[in-house]
Amino acid sequence: MSEAVELDPAEAKMWITVTINGSKGTYLVDQRLTLADFIRKQVGLPGTHLGCEHGSCGACTIIMGDKAVRSCLLLAAQADRESIETVESLAEDGVLSPLQEAFHANHALQCGYCTSGFLMSLVARLREGPIESEAQAREALSGNICRCTGYTGMVAALMSLPTPNGQSGGAQ
């Protein structure tokens, strides 16, 4: 019969250095701490939400490097020497970003629980190029789940964004 492995508490922690919303910091983290729990509880940024906690709903989406990622599926240790962005980075001095304004103006949220994940997924997508059609908007929204408001307002919000050529569908 195999014996239970006892973890040495001193070895179950590690130091990570991570840039969060432009501020670089060093943190002592439990090696098994998820990135979502690190952001919410240790860093104190509660805008990243947890829904399913197994990679399906997208509520926990943040940007790491230049990619939208599910923070419930990553460990804080995996963010070592990375740069991450959370929903708290979008508004500046209390002024909403164009994407947040578009969500507000088009009634693109109801309870809002899913919204931070949608916003961060869309920020990453819009950095790749403008969203120029409803089909592209629906594709951009397809990785996240909203349980209460439906997607029509979010599509309208994306179609209302200005593009570099003055048409709708583009800026963050």
Out of 12, 91, 135, 148, the only residue in the binding site for ligand FES (CB under 6 A) is: 148
Binding segment (CB under 6 A) for ligand FES, from list 4-12, 56-64, 126-134, 155-163: 56-64
Binding segment (CB under 6 A) for ligand FES, from list 25-33, 45-53, 124-132, 160-168: 45-53
Out of 21, 27, 80, 112, the only residue in the binding site for ligand FES (CB under 6 A) is: 112
Round to whole Å and give the CA distance between 81 and 115.
27
Does residue 19 bind ligand FES (CB under 6 A)?
no
Q: Which is nearer to ligand FES, 24 or 54 (CB)?
A: 54
Does residue 53 bind ligand FES (CB under 6 A)?
yes
Residues 6+ apart with CB under 8 A from 4: none
In total, the chain counts a number of residues equal to 172
Does residue 146 bind ligand FES (CB under 6 A)?
yes
Does residue 111 bind ligand FES (CB under 6 A)?
yes
Which of positions 60-99 make contact with ligand FES (CB under 6 A)? 60, 70, 72
| 170 token code pair | 């583009």
Residues 6+ apart with CB under 8 A from 8: none
Q: What is the CA radius of gyration of the chain?
A: 18
Round to whole Å and give the CA distance between 151 and 141.
8
Does residue 106 bind ligand FES (CB under 6 A)?
no
Cβ-contact 74, 35 below 8 angstroms? yes
Out of 33, 48, 58, 156, the only residue in the binding site for ligand FES (CB under 6 A) is: 58
Out of 29, 33, 39, 59, the only residue in the binding site for ligand FES (CB under 6 A) is: 59
Pairing of the two strands 83-85 and 13-20: parallel
| Chain center to CA of 40 | 12
Phi/psi at 100 (5° precision):
-60, -40
Q: Which is nearer to ligand FES, 53 or 80 (CB)?
A: 53
Question: Contact residues for ligand FES (CB under 6 A)?
Answer: 50-53, 55-60, 70, 72, 109-114, 146-149
